[in-house]
Amino acid sequence: MSFLLLFLELALIRWTGENIVHLSFFTNFVLLASFLGIGLGFLRGGATRDLFGWAPLVLAVLVGFVLLFPVTIIALSGPRQVIGLNGSAPIPRWLSLSVIFLLTVAVMAMLAQEVARTFARFEPLEAYRLDILGSLAGTVGFAALSFLGLPPLGWAVVVVAALLALLGRRTRSWQWVGVVAVLALLGGQSIFGGDHWSPYYKVHAVPGDNGSGLVVSVNNIPHQTAYSLDRMKAAPKSRYHLPYAHNPAPADVLIIGSGTGNDVAVALDQGARHVDAVEIDPVLQHLGRDHHPNRPYQDPRVSVHIDDGRAFIERTHQQYDLIILALTDSLTIVTGQSALRLENYLFTTEAIDRDRSLLKPGGEFAMYNYYEPWLLDRYAGSITAVYGQTPCVQISGEQVGDRLQAVLTIDRDGGTPGCAQNWQRPPGALSPATDDRPFPYLANHRIPAFYLWMLALILVAALALIRVTSGRPIRQMRPYLDLAFMGAAFLLLETKNVVQFALLFGTTWFVNAAVFAGVLLSVLAAVETARRIRLPRPDLLYVALLAALALAWLIPPSALLDLNVPLRFLAGVALAFAPIFLANLVFAQRFRSVGASTVAFGANLLGAMVGGALEYLALVTGYRFLLVLVAVLYGLAFLTGRRHLRPAAA
């Protein structure tokens, strides 16, 4: 049951965002719905009415709704920017998100009730141990299917097999209807949709015309087009050629975000002797290798690196004549548990400074995209802060809405020979993004109003659903308030570790999966320790936990980037997982003696949901401050649970 619960949660977080563009940058939304549903299911663990049998049917309704009412972006400006199925008008955003939220809560609650019923048959720590083992298997299983590039039909087969195994002889005809509907709907999308499934995206590629080899969209958003060299040369002030205006024949070129290969083709055409092409998504690179009109990836002068761009520049010691950040816009979040996009760490001052250190004398740094004016000024200001001089600004002339197609270039020593126009700092230019607050697309230090409204509505809905569906007044969870604070703190601690490892080792799917697995292994180690060893007094564990949090705060992740990779890994693991291990020793010691394990665990999960909402404070404060918030929440757990602080039995 725990395997199914975690596997389905990960699948829903990814799949809904790939079909509803509203969720592409708010995948935390489905995570919060999942936590609420699981918490409600645990609170209903003792209810006489078993809802587990309805899960296949509700899951089929959720899948059908998402496929029937997708949301696709077709333009970045104008009156008609998004469409629904077959070009129809999309349903209102509030309605789409509300239905997805309620259906996700429902299906997760139905599954979690069955988990809770089984949970109650074991001693609390033994039940928690089995739950963690199942969750670990779900994480590894979903990561493996993502690595293999299986479409949603592959995910559905796993979910359906688990459901049928758990239902066993209880399976009824209407449950078979739900199971068959899920397989048919996702089978139709997987077989007839014409999509490729990478670890990050649903990729849709169609042949282009008029000199373009391939037109690619990801997650229902237009992404890139593979153009022939002739087409790119014919375009006036081509953004692909402007980086070479001041450095016409670079020998060694680094391209970050090489995509389907346009920039690689231009670099080779300009006479580059060697090109390091870095692309995070293997499917995009493979499409470019096989379908780009000039086949640049098949040239022996090109070395392909399927990797995160920031991770690559932190590891390499190669020196370059030209470094290009090429249309590095991922259009997706690192995980369903952070507001960090795949490319955010490429645009911080620390990253730009690292790029500069890799340039040869006379080498040049360039970046281009379709920039809104304020974002162009922010990036130009970031370059100025690192190089001490303003970059050259070249406008290609093409404009999409209020977005300018522009190239920013600067020489390693700060000048740009032959530049016609240097950037002029306007009044009120935004401060650069940093590794602690890597949000270049956020125009100010506050949480967007849409997020605030959505989080407020989610929390109000949670209070109502807890009261109505669980049959328990909220005051009945009051004895477990300390466990709710622990849940909120732990979710924030997990989020902090996800973004920390993304900085240290890259935002790749493998790093993210390894972090989640590492978190679960740390939890499992704490549970096994608590089951076998007499623990110190609870107050001493709290002191050790706060000390570990203080050490993690004193040593920022950026300080570890100067270490070689093995030492960076050891230091990163120690700083990240020591607080998680100690936090779960505190939790295990408290949880082992609870009177109603399902209610206590439900309170802990609902607290984690609140932690998911608090995570958005990082948009204002930066991620490092989350450690302070974690310490405060564990302090509140200590104060509200003082009567339970007694030494554990031998």
| Cβ contact 26:335 at 8 Å | no
**Cα 276 to Cα 303: distance, rounded to the nearest angstrom:** 5
**Is the pLDDT assigned to residue 78 strictly greater than 80?**
no
**Cα 372 to Cα 379: distance, rounded to the nearest angstrom:** 11
Convert the pLDDT of each residue in 240-251 to its tens digit: 888 898 888 899
Q: If DSSP codes are grouped into helix, strand and coil, which group holds residue 488?
A: helix
Average pLDDT over residues 379-384: 94
Q: What is the pLDDT of residue 45?
A: 84
Average pLDDT over residues 339-354: 90
**Cα 394 to Cα 310: distance, rounded to the nearest angstrom:** 25
Average pLDDT over residues 249-268: 94
260-264, 343-347, 449-453, 584-588: range with lowest mean pLDDT:
449-453
B/e letters for 531-553, b = 16+ CB within 10 Å, e = fewer, are eeeebeebeebbebbbebbeebb
Convert the pLDDT of each residue in 392-432 to its tens digit: 998 876 666 677 888 999 999 888 888 888 999 998 888 99
Share of the chain above pLDDT 70, in %: 95
Average pLDDT over residues 535-546: 91
Q: Which of 13-27, 303-317, 329-343, 435-449 has the highest mean pLDDT?
A: 303-317
Element spanning 550, H or E: helix 538-554
The domain 225-329+349-411 is placed in CATH, from the list 3.40.50.150, 3.50.50.60, 3.40.50.1220, 3.90.105.20, at 3.40.50.150
Q: What is the pLDDT of residue 402?
A: 73
Q: Report the CATH fold assignment for 2-194+444-644.
A: Growth Hormone; Chain: A; (1.20.1250)
Chain length of the chain: 650
Distances, alpha carbon 283 to alpha carbons 148, 196, 227, 385, 554, in Å: 11, 7, 18, 36, 40
The per-residue pLDDT of the chain, averaged, comes to: 89
**Is the pLDDT assigned to residue 264 strictly greater than 90?**
yes
HSE-CB of 85 using CA atoms within 13 angstroms: 10
Q: What is the pLDDT of residue 650?
A: 42
Widest CA span in the chain:
79
Average pLDDT over residues 309-330: 92
**Cα 298 to Cα 301: distance, rounded to the nearest angstrom:** 9
Distances, alpha carbon 244 to alpha carbons 324, 505, 529, in Å: 10, 31, 60
Convert the pLDDT of each residue in 87-132 to its tens digit: 899 999 889 999 999 999 999 999 999 999 999 899 988 999 999 9
* Domain extents in the chain: 2-194+444-644, 225-329+349-411
Q: What is the pLDDT of residue 265?
A: 95
Element spanning 304, H or E: strand 302-306
Q: Is the model more confident about 300 or about 194?
A: 300
